[in-house]
Amino acid sequence: MPWAEQSAQSFGITIEDYLLPTHGRIQLISPEGALLPVEEQGSTPGHEYPMPDHETLLNAYRQLVIGRRVNDQNHALVRQGRMAVYPSSHGQEASEVAAALCLDARDWLFPTYRDTVAVLARGVAPLDVMTSFRGDWHCGYDPIEHRTAAQSTPLTTQLLHAVGLAQAARLKGEDTVVLGMVGDGGTSEGDFHEALNFAAVFKLPVIFFVQNNKYAISVPIAKQTAAPSIAHKAVGYGVAGERVDGNDLAALLAVLGRAVSLCREGGGPFLVEADTYRMQAHTNADDATRYRHDEEVAEWQHKDPLKRMRSYLTEANVLNDDVETEITEAAENVARGLREAMSVQPELHPLELFDHVYTVQTPQLAAQRAQLAEELEREGAGS
Ligand SMILES: Cc1ncc(C[n+]2csc(CCOP(=O)(O)OP(=O)(O)O)c2C)c(N)n1
Ligand SMILES: [Mg+2]
């Protein structure tokens, strides 16, 4: 029996009900921080998700606070001219943190340029993550050591790499789960469809995690797709899709956690769409006021993932002033480290730009390298 039918049967539902996302989306905690009654969680048969335990939530909340602080610190460093570019995930931190924490050390994460907070939550040192955004080096960490690919700027290429890695891991007999991150705009790329189809046909343990933050730079989601939701796209490939409140850390951990378990047991791939919002401009090169209204941003302010989790954990007596102070101090330490490191000018070697692009350099690159070497020498001679 095909694997999806088997999973559907284990939940006591039809294959269609298994592959299609729940009606609406999964949400466990209200924007005010209250645990929602089961009938308001958006769950339908086979799409029920238990609440993660307090220890898991507190650990994730800590990453959320650090992630928000790093987002805001980096935003400031760019404005001060100390960093080249920073695509902030302010407002999306719950999705970022959950993407990393649902995985084990043996798994692999494939992030985009927006997913710095996920890479941090995966355990990569903050300064190493920021190296590429400063323009100092292609990638500041060792992808193999952290089982976290370099953050991808070419849209959606990372999903093909994610699928390829999952296939390779299977051939090696490993039980690795791979999570590939992508934005709403990225789902319009051919690579998205190819990656999903390949993963589905070969039943690979890949989670396609789409952060639908409503915009691809200035292009709104309504101009991106006519599908009822991005999660609905999964069914066309025979992949199970789920839609989750992307600002609800508890719901994200529950949905992604189950997707990881099912993938590990051979029930993958999965597509999870997080319903979230980009609170700041696309990058420092973008003026968001030119294509969206303040009222829309204010509406999402109300759904802030951090405030929601803080309220819930405080009400549950898991978080108190002492714990909150300790977490805030940890976040401040990370921010201070970033500020100090970005105030020092590293000595860079421009010619290194050409290294590691290809194993064997193309004649064109060799010529460009020679040209730059000559220009640098001339400059040096003149100074
Ligand atoms: C292949 C490719 N085409 C175009 C671009 C330019 N580009 C950079 S970000 C972006 C928008 C992507 O939007 P989305 O996938 O929703 O991610 P978000 O930035 O919202 O996180 C575009 C078109 C690119 N980086 N790569
Ligand atoms: Mg987007």
The pLDDT assigned to 289 comes to: 94
**pLDDT tens digits along 288-298:** 999 999 999 99
Judge if the beta carbon of residue 36 lies within 6 A of ligand 1.
no
**pLDDT tens digits along 225-246:** 999 999 999 999 999 999 999 9
The pLDDT assigned to 70 comes to: 98
Residue range 243-264: mean pLDDT, rounded: 97
- Using alpha carbons, list the distances in angstroms from residue 114 to 174, 206, 220, 314, 365: 29, 20, 17, 29, 29
Task: Indicate if the pLDDT at residue 367 is higher than 70.
Answer: yes
Judge if the beta carbon of residue 111 lies within 6 A of ligand 1.
no
The pLDDT assigned to 383 comes to: 55
Q: Which CATH architecture has domain 3-348?
A: 3-Layer(aba) Sandwich (3.40)
Query: How does residue 136 score in pLDDT terms, banded at 50, 70 and 90?
Result: confident
**pLDDT tens digits along 138-153:** 899 999 999 999 999 9
The pLDDT assigned to 347 comes to: 85
Query: How does residue 346 score in pLDDT terms, banded at 50, 70 and 90?
Result: confident
Instruction: State which ligand 1 atom lies nearest to the alpha carbon of 189.
Output: 1
Instruction: State which ligand 1 atom lies nearest to the alpha carbon of 114.
Output: 21
Judge if the beta carbon of residue 176 lies within 6 A of ligand 1.
no
Judge if the beta carbon of residue 216 lies within 6 A of ligand 1.
yes
Distance 12 CA to ligand 2 centre (A): 35
Task: Indicate if the pLDDT at residue 341 is higher than 80.
Answer: yes
Tally of residues, the chain: 383
Mean pLDDT of the chain: 95
Sorted by sequence, the CB contacts under 8 Å of residue 39 that are 6+ apart come out as none
Task: Indicate if the pLDDT at residue 215 is higher than 90.
Answer: yes
Distance 380 CA to ligand 1 centre (A): 38
Which residues carry out catalysis?
A: 278, 282, 291
Specify the residue with its C-alpha closest to ligand 1, atom 25. 154
Among 115, 155, 181, 292, the mutation site with the greatest number of ligand 1 atoms within 8 A of its Cβ is: 155
Instruction: State which ligand 1 atom lies nearest to the alpha carbon of 187.
Output: 15
The pLDDT assigned to 137 comes to: 85
Q: Which comes out higher in pLDDT, residue 92 or 137?
A: 92
Helices (H), the chain: 3-11, 15-19, 54-79, 93-101, 116-121, 126-134, 143-146, 157-171, 190-201, 249-264, 294-301, 305-315, 321-342, 363-382
Judge if the beta carbon of residue 213 lies within 6 A of ligand 1.
yes
The pLDDT assigned to 6 comes to: 85
Global pTM? 0.95
Distance 187 CA to ligand 1 centre (A): 10
**pLDDT tens digits along 1-33:** 667 888 899 899 999 999 999 999 999 999 999
The pLDDT assigned to 381 comes to: 66
Distance 154 CA to ligand 1 centre (A): 7
The pLDDT assigned to 1 comes to: 60
Token pair 């290809």 is at which residue?
358
Which region among 3-17, 250-264, 295-309 has the lowest average model confidence (pLDDT)? 3-17
Task: Indicate if the pLDDT at residue 155 is higher than 80.
Answer: yes
The pLDDT assigned to 345 comes to: 83
Is residue 141 within 8 A of residue 230, CB to CB? The reply is no
